[in-house]
């Protein structure tokens, strides 16, 4: 229990810092639900954390019936990471860091944060939860699944928000996906039952 609580807090801090201090100042996108939350912020000035919670809700309903462990573990990760993402919004963005440095740092920070939670079977939102479910029933690495989902979100974001810097956003996704792949390959996520009895 203590290990999971620490994983949620530390992982969420990495993600929130990566988003608010490196991605948002340069109008960068990430993939998955985080990317959709950022699209909501850039297009409508919605709080990204709250947007992530709303968009993740349907997948958590699925998880509730598919595997209660994923549901209960995921809810904590979703709520804490979303809260911290919106909490750090109060800090003024600093765009003085070069965009290519920010894109790499954002990818590393977000990738580490997601990995810390994934290896403890905790998710931060719908796409991570979906990746955990798919990885649990297949032999595909969870990092590769996330990379595919993230790429689709970046493509969508570049269409909806023309000013989005797609090249550097792609760097965020690639670095984040590679970081997640490396960390989750070294520290294998713990398997859980595929069906809740």
The HSE-up count of residue 7 (CA atoms within 13 Å, CB side) is: 21
Asked if residue 197 is part of any domain, the answer here is no
CA 77 → CA 11, 84, 125, 132, 159, distances in Å? 9, 11, 8, 13, 29
User: Residue 180: which pLDDT band, with cuts at 50, 70 and 90?
Assistant: confident
Res. 126: pLDDT tops 70: no
pTM greater than 0.85: no
Q: Does residue 196 fall inside a structural domain?
A: no
Q: For residues 61 and 43, what is the distance between their CA atoms, to the nearest angstrom? A: 27
| Local structure of residue 189 (DSSP, 8 states) | P
The helix-helix angle for 32-44 and 142-160 (nearest 10°) equals 20
The answer on pLDDT for 103 being more than 90 is yes
Q: How far apart are CA 68 and CA 172, in angstroms?
A: 31
d(CA 40, CA 59): 19
Residue pointed to by tokens 């109008």: 27
Show the domain range for 56: 2-186
Tell me the per-residue pLDDT of 128-146, one tens digit each, with 9 for 90 and over.
677 777 777 787 887 788 7
Q: Is 192 a domain residue?
A: no
Q: Which residue's entry shows tokens 């989005």?
A: 164
Q: How many domains does the chain have?
A: 1
Question: Is position 193 within any domain?
Answer: no
The verdict on residue 49 lying in a domain is yes
Indicate whether 112 belongs to any domain: yes
Q: What's the mean per-residue pLDDT of the chain?
A: 84
Any residues with CB less than 8 A from the CB of 38 and at least 6 apart, and which? 19, 23, 24, 28, 29, 30, 48, 157
Return d(Cα 78, Cα 57) in angstroms, integer: 10
């Amino acid at each position: 229990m203590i290990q999971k609580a620490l994983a949620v807090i530390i992982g969420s801090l990495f993600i929130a810092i990566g988003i608010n201090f490196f991605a948002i100042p340069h109008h960068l996108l990430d993939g998955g639900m985080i990317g959709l939350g950022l699209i909501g912020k850039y297009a409508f000035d919605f709080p990204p954390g709250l947007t992530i919670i709303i968009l993740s809700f349907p997948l958590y309903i699925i998880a509730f019936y598919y595997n209660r462990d994923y549901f209960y573990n995921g809810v904590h990760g979703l709520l804490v990471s979303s809260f911290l993402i919106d909490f750090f919004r109060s800090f003024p963005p600093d765009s003085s860091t070069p965009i290519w440095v920010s894109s790499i740092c954002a990818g590393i920070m977000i990738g580490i944060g997601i990995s810390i939670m994934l290896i403890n079977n905790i998710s931060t939102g719908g796409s991570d939860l979906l990746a955990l479910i798919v990885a649990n029933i297949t032999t595909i690495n969870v990092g590769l699944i996330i990379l595919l989902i993230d790429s689709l979100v970046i493509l969508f974001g570049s269409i909806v928000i023309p000013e989005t810097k797609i090249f550097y956003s792609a760097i965020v996704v690639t670095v984040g996906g590679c970081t997640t792949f490396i960390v989750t390959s070294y520290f294998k996520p713990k398997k859980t039952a595929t069906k809740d009895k």
